[in-house]
Structure 1
Amino acid sequence: MKAYLSKSKFLKGLQCHKSLWLHKHEPELVSPPEESQQAIFDTGTEVGLLARNLFPDGKEIIFKEGSFTKKIKQTRELIENGAETIYEATFTHNNVLAMVDILHKGIRGWELYEVKSSTGVTDIYISDLSVQYYVLSGCELPISKTSLIYINNQYVKYGELNIKELFCITELINKIEENQGFVEDQLSEMNEILMGKCPGIDIGNHCDTPYPCDFKDHCWSHVPEYSIFNIKRLNTSKKFELYYKGILALSDIPDDYDLSSGQRLQVVSELTNKVVINKKAIKEFLDGIYYPLYFLDFETFMPAVPIFDGTHPYQQVPFQYSLHVLESKSAELKNYEFLAKEGIDQREELIKRLTSKIPDKACILTYNMTFEKRILRELSEQFPSYKDKLMSIHENIVDLMAPFQKKDYYTKEMKGSYSLKFVLPALVPECSYEGMAISDGGVAMNTYATLHLIEDKKEVEQIRKDLLEYCKLDTFAMVKLLNKLEEVIK
């Protein structure tokens, strides 16, 4: 009989029964993955393939849509013919389908390995392995180990990539066996749900826990574009507390509802167009800025598998900077920029270029200085011969985000945020990221991370131009915001 409940559907059912039902009966309502989510999927695929090197020379079951029966047959034939390692081994039991990342025949029996691109063990991963164990043991395959393979975030690459040090392997069979009663109960409940009508489950915390649901666009279609769910830094449980009381619009929030001063300002400003301009505080901030003035922004990428010596998994590796310069208040604005060649470690070249442009005791403006300062510290540790120059820049940084973070300048268009992507269009609407090929740091990161894979030179050249344009706007935006701050205290 054809399997109707896959491992992935089981996990979706644990998160939300409505999601499970929709996947089965109305899959056309699935929202396409956002670029950031797709990048996570791609990373998972990359890590999964790399982990196979822990068990080399295995036989792979090739996936083709709609060929599960053939995959199950191929798996059984490989086992019968003495295969010791199988990738994507496929089994079904009680119409539940499971595909195993790595199945290896050990001394005491078969060893089941699930590969994740994360850096630790979570409950959802245990549930993932539990349903696989349920299926394989139901097929009377003797399982001696059930383990999770994941990234060791303490690994630092030097020379050739060391696969055994890159990955951690945690044996979980005791927990998995204890979990079998839970799996059976859940499967029974899910089967009943799939045979019935769509569950009337309202939106809630489960929509994003542990993962963003594929049906958010559908289930959240009644929520206005701007609502209580857009109140910044309001605990999710509080947002749903309001929602379950029938409160969606900011105008319906009770005056005595417990909000922080910043959250209350966001609500009041939205309803009354209230503008906050604390001239005294802004002037004090501006008094700490001096010339020559340098506006600095880094772009980084975070490979799960380190590709440069001295880096660890998911380390933010700088590949680009933009630097706008004002020698004096009346000087002509200059721009310097650097973008590393794709796939090549040019951090030292980035350091040389940057430190050659910024003199000692210059005033450096960044937006959210925590990020730039961390990058500078890490570079100084990994390239100690440049430590003095890098830390000089580090010590002279002033955070342009401060007056907006403190709400010394606030308009309703900022929508409760002090992010540059909200503050800039609110105060300088003619200077916008809209319509740009690369419009935020996440896209820049993912774009650069895969740039070395593109063979079309013209396409690579265009993407590099897009990256430069984006980063340049980040620092130019700081120039415009500084001008705006200076204007409002006149």
Structure 2
Amino acid sequence: MSQSGKSGLSKSLILKGLQCQKALWLAKNPPAFDFPTQPDLEARFAAGTKVGILAQQLFPGGTEVPYEGLSFPAQLTRTRELIDNGTQVIYEASFSFSAIFVKVDILVKDGDQWQIYEVKMGTGVKSVNLDDVAVQQYVLNGCGLSVSKAFLVHINNSYVRQGGIEVGRLFHAEEISAKVCARQQSLPEIMREFRQTMAEHHEPKVDIGPHCTDPYACDYIPYCWQHIPENSVFALRGNGLKKFDYYQRGLIRFEDLPLADLNPAQQQQVEATLKQQDFIDPLKVKAFIDSLWYPLCHLDFESFNTPIPKFDGTRPYQQVPFQYSIHVQSTAGAKPQHFEYLARPNIDPRRELIEQLLTVIPENACILTYNQTFEKGVLRNLADLFPDLAQAINLRLPNLRDLMALFRRRDVYRWRMHGSYSIKEVLPAMVPELSYAEMEIADGMAASQAYHEMCRLDDPLALAELRKAMLAYCALDTLAMVKILETLLNID
């Protein structure tokens, strides 16, 4: 096994290069640019690591070659020692061939050959996964190891947890040997091309394009896209427009776009932005307001989903509610009364949550949501889970109304919404004194990550501060509905 130096390649670099060779060059030559933090990406990496460790139980008793604490040469040496000593299962086996370094999630002895198991937290096989395993097999073959079979281990999202995690049911190992072999022949030429790219002294001239987000959003989008103005063709909402075609023709800014090519919603977005115009259909707003009644309960749930189900009766990636906020107005114009719930760490919250919710929301109340599809889905799942509460839940389901519908249909549109009907854009456009901008937790993804952080914390003070931030965020979601509705009621 040869060793790869600083100028060598790795599996992740190769996959980056297959997506964009400019990204490959930038990875080796980081630009002087202030990149924003990516907490979502960090959370995904952490979840992926947890999934990978759990998948090792598919082949128990193996030996790991750790990444942390060992240099690359030491990892290669340790792997060779394990192979020479007859180890049957190796986790994170390390190899280098032609200055390409790879680690194999799970390597299993198969007679005189070996089987590769690559673990992913998705629910199926993607094209990029085949490239991933093809690089591994190419390197292993170069090191003198014969690969009999290759598998992609992914999440089985039909598995329902009951008791401890059943690893054999949570994961599905799909053989991809033939597809991987088909990708082997082109790899030597690809490697030569990538090495030439990395040897260049100047940044490759690769323009932005669909490859920037296919198969993944590239780390360097903020750098490569900095020439794109705020109000550009890419800021248009909706489908039906090949945006890169317009970009390549130099039609980038809103001012450049031929309105006749756009759908009505896009035309409205462009014209409203350029003229700083707002729009409202008073008859449709009145019809919506007339569909509401009191008591009026403004409701919002927060939920998490994970590849490894956390509680009994849940599936991978199932939305599990852990928090709600409700602002209740007994009569029109009444000061709202606030109720809230936030789960205790590491305890299935669903029974407690729905029991408390049912005491707060009267059977005859109107329930206002922002995206009722989500809230209805949560309530229906809870009704299925708790048959003794199903009647009480189902009595309330017909009472849900959706404030988002007004903005999705563009019955109300303000140019500062930037074509979006997300409450994060609608709130500051409708109620300028309120915004999510300064919130410690500012969106649903961050709230979900905060839940998992809450479950890990041991420090009582840190836990109290985090819970305070979580409650403040969810409370703003329902206060936002109160204030947006108030604005609509006061529009002449």
TM-score (norm: length of structure 1): 0.96
Amino acid at match of 1:2: S
Say yes or no: does 1:279 pair with 2:314.
no
TM-score (norm: length of structure 2): 0.96
Q: Partners of 2:36 and 2:180 in 1: how far apart?
A: 33
1:217 corresponds to which residue? 222
The 3-state SS of whatever aligns with 1:10 is: helix
Q: Partners of 1:259 and 1:65 in 2: how far apart?
A: 56
Amino acid at match of 2:385: Q
The 3-state SS of whatever aligns with 1:450 is: helix
Say yes or no: does 1:408 pair with 2:411.
yes
2:65 corresponds to which residue? 61
Q: Partners of 1:244 and 1:205 in 2: how far apart?
A: 12
Shift of residue 39, structure 1, vs aligned partner: 1.1
Conserved 8 A contact 2:321-2:349: no
2:144 corresponds to which residue? 140
Shift of residue 66, structure 1, vs aligned partner: 8.0
Question: Mean alpha-carbon deviation: is it higher for 20-29 or for 148-157?
Answer: 20-29
Conserved 8 A contact 1:303-1:449: no
Amino acid at match of 2:163: G
Measured against aligned partners, the alpha-carbon deviations of 1:294-353 in whole angstroms (never above 9, x if no partner) come to 110000001210011110001110000001101111433101110010111020010100
Match of 1:203 among 208, 213, 235: 208
CA 1:81–1:32 in 2, change beyond 3 Å: closer, same or farther? farther
Conserved 8 A contact 1:6-1:97: yes
Q: Partners of 1:8 and 1:183 in 2: how far apart?
A: 14
Match of 1:302 among 298, 301, 305: 305
- Structure 2 unaligned spans of 5+: none
Pairwise CA RMSD of aligned residues? 1.5
1:126 corresponds to which residue? 130
Shift of residue 26, structure 1, vs aligned partner: 2.9
- Structure 1 unaligned spans of 5+: none
Measured against aligned partners, the alpha-carbon deviations of 1:388-414 in whole angstroms (never above 9, x if no partner) come to 111222211010111111111111111
Q: Partners of 2:411 and 2:36 in 1: how far apart?
A: 39
The 3-state SS of whatever aligns with 1:430 is: coil
1:379 corresponds to which residue? 382
The 3-state SS of whatever aligns with 2:185 is: helix
Q: How does 1:73-472 map to 2 (within 5 A)?
A: 73-107=77-111, 109-196=113-200, 197-234=202-239, 238-256=242-260, 258-472=261-475
Amino acid at match of 1:150: H
Question: Mean alpha-carbon deviation: is it higher for 399-408 or for 107-116?
Answer: 107-116
CA 1:107–1:30 in 2, change beyond 3 Å: closer, same or farther? farther
Question: Mean alpha-carbon deviation: is it higher for 247-256 or for 367-376?
Answer: 247-256
Amino acid at match of 1:204: G
Amino acid at match of 1:192: Q
CA 1:173–1:330 in 2, change beyond 3 Å: closer, same or farther? closer
Dislocated runs of 4+, deviation >4 Å: 27-30
Amino acid at match of 1:121: V
The 3-state SS of whatever aligns with 1:181 is: coil
Q: Partners of 1:123 and 1:302 in 2: how far apart?
A: 24
Q: Partners of 2:108 and 2:4 in 1: how far apart?
A: 26
Conserved 8 A contact 1:57-1:85: yes
The 3-state SS of whatever aligns with 2:158 is: coil
Shift of residue 106, structure 1, vs aligned partner: 2.5
Conserved 8 A contact 2:76-2:94: yes
| Alignment: residue pair count | 487
The 3-state SS of whatever aligns with 1:180 is: coil
Aligned residues: percent identity?
44
Shift of residue 477, structure 1, vs aligned partner: 0.6
Q: Partners of 1:338 and 1:241 in 2: how far apart?
A: 49
1:7 corresponds to which residue? 11
Q: Partners of 1:184 and 1:223 in 2: how far apart?
A: 36
Q: Partners of 2:439 and 2:34 in 1: how far apart?
A: 27
The 3-state SS of whatever aligns with 2:362 is: coil
Shift of residue 226, structure 1, vs aligned partner: 3.2
Q: Partners of 2:129 and 2:36 in 1: how far apart?
A: 24
